[in-house]
Amino acid sequence: MATDLEIARATPLRPIQEIAARAGIPEDGLIPFGRHKAKVDFGVLAAAGQKQGKLVLVTGISPTAAGEGKTTTTIGLGDALNALGTRTMICLREPSLGPCFGVKGGATGGGRAQVAPMEDINLHFTGDFHAITSANNLLAAMVDNHLYWGNALGLDPRRVTWRRAMDMNDRNLRNMVVGLGGAVQGVPREDGFDITVASEVMAIFCLARDLDDLQARLGRIIVGATREGVSITAKDIKADGAMAALLRDALQPNLVQTLEGSPALVHGGPFANIAHGCNSVIATRLGLALADVVVTEAGFGADLGAEKFLDIKCPAAGLAPDAAVVVATVRALKMHGGVAKNALGPEDVAAVERGVVNLARHVENLRKFGLPVVVALNRFTSDTNAEIEAVQHAMARIGAEAFLCTHWGEGAAGAADLARAVQKLLDEGHARFKPLYEPALPLADKLRTIAREIYHATEVQIPPAIAARLAKFEEQGFGHVPVCVAKTQYSFSSDPTKLGAPEGHVLPVREVRLSAGAGFVVAVCGEIMTMPGLPRRPAAETIGLDAEGAIQGLF
């Protein structure tokens, strides 16, 4: 069987100007990066006006090692809608180098449902992540430089909260001491790195509406406080202008294509387990201005990426989604039903029936936001008819329909039934979108609402010191912002071993951070890390160059 990389290389790509024309983007609105990728000039969005297409969110069950294919399904659905004659734009996040070299080995879809050029997008692409990393670390350098040259603002080195960033998994950088080596080397203090995709600069980049909004948000970043507790911002440090300059070109959305020639905007890339997990607002708004339908994806399971898309991105950007698709596989549901990855081959209907509760909960959770929902059952060759029927019957019991999808092998044709079902939902217009909570709700109560309604937890453990920090955020005028929960992606709980649909668990809050520029409070729960580590056998071990210099090992 051909690999994703082999399939991508065997598919001739169209010139990016042809893809732009199909999307309604004039050639003078493109900034080409070679033959098959380009930036889209800010003026295109301004010229496109306020036309609003329909917005479809693709999300998934709680992920497993068996794989679900959420990105693949997003691409397959977009291709299928275009094949039906619906003018469709696909909006995705850019892959992070951390997971590419860690676990995934690539994140551009799979089989016949991919965005391309695959190697470029998975590795350096157009340099957006490098710009975000540089802007983050410029601010870190200017904070330390301010401390070194007299500290006119009175910033307390013990209260510096701004961390450095790097787009790579490196557990050794989580916590460190900087400034050692004597007085000329800087001011000694504790510091650490977050992965770039978990940084506040990445969140700001993806939530900013335009360049003015970008710089204003960067200026509001809180880097630390004085001994008296007065917040010091990036604007106080005078770093916001230079940061915006580094990000100016990166903020222009990236246009690429699927293997079937559908236009796709791939832009931004915050993680959904430790950030808000959605592509850029600018790319989404551009897609809605150009197309009749935008198909977008939110990271990890619906309890993380979808909840944050609906409670953070949509209110911030003034968006109202029209339908949602939840992606599942029989193999993943069997794992949620207690089957080990190495035992997924034989038919096990009972395990599917045990594990389908995870899918059912995600469907029911999305309905709480007023969205009509369909299920995409991404088929593997090992799936049996009895296992597929078990999923479809379980969905029918809760009033949902599960559509069998084979877009990995068949492209658009394999997602045609799903596309027709989504188009029907859009035509019927039953969506009554509403976020889960009101902005006026206290921060702790927002967190409890998410835990109760989405995770089915009975209690949120908020230690007194953390409760005091939440109260301080509210005193500072940030009580109206949403809460972004950072927790494991593998479970509704904070325990990655609790698969299926656990209930009655406790959500322990370990830390809270104010992302004043992004406009949310991060609640770090359980053992989740904002700088991941590499696995025992990282994907990087199998990535390299062949004798002709072509990249091998991405998948």
Instruction: Tell me the catalytic residues.
Output: 70, 72, 93, 104, 272, 300, 380, 408
Using CA atoms, how far residue 343 sits from 335, 359, 361, 526, 528, in Å, is 9, 21, 25, 29, 28
Tell me how far apart the alpha carbons of residues 368 and 484 are, in angstroms, rounded to a whole number. 18
Say if residues 98 and 532 touch (Cβ distance below 8 Å): yes
Beta bridge partners of 522: 484, 513
Tell me how far apart the alpha carbons of residues 228 and 218 are, in angstroms, rounded to a whole number. 23
403: left (phi over 0), alpha (psi -120 to 50) or beta: beta
Tell me how far apart the alpha carbons of residues 212 and 201 are, in angstroms, rounded to a whole number. 15
DSSP string across 39-69: EE-HHHHHHHTT---EEEEEEESSP-TT---
Tell me how far apart the alpha carbons of residues 134 and 126 are, in angstroms, rounded to a whole number. 14
279-311 burial by CB neighbour count: b if 16+ within 10 A, else e? Answer: bbbbbbbbbbbbbbbbbbbbbbbbbbbbbbbbb
Say if residues 282 and 45 touch (Cβ distance below 8 Å): yes
Tell me how far apart the alpha carbons of residues 49 and 41 are, in angstroms, rounded to a whole number. 14
Helix (H, G, I), strand (E, B) or coil at 115: strand
Tell me how far apart the alpha carbons of residues 221 and 233 are, in angstroms, rounded to a whole number. 5
The strand pair at 88-92 and 293-301 is best described as parallel
Say if residues 133 and 250 touch (Cβ distance below 8 Å): no
What backbone phi and psi angles, to 5 degrees, belong to 312? Answer: -115, -60
Using CA atoms, how far residue 12 sits from 30, 78, 116, 259, in Å, is 21, 19, 10, 8
Residues in the chain: 555
What backbone phi and psi angles, to 5 degrees, belong to 286? Answer: -65, -45
Token reading at 40: 């889209």
Using CA atoms, how far residue 115 sits from 31, 91, 378, in Å, is 19, 11, 18
Using CA atoms, how far residue 332 sits from 1, 336, 355, 448, 477, in Å, is 21, 6, 8, 28, 43
Say if residues 436 and 449 touch (Cβ distance below 8 Å): yes
Burial (CB < 10 A; 0-12, 13-18, 19+), residue 529, is: middle
Token reading at 127: 């340099």
Burial (CB < 10 A; 0-12, 13-18, 19+), residue 427, is: exposed
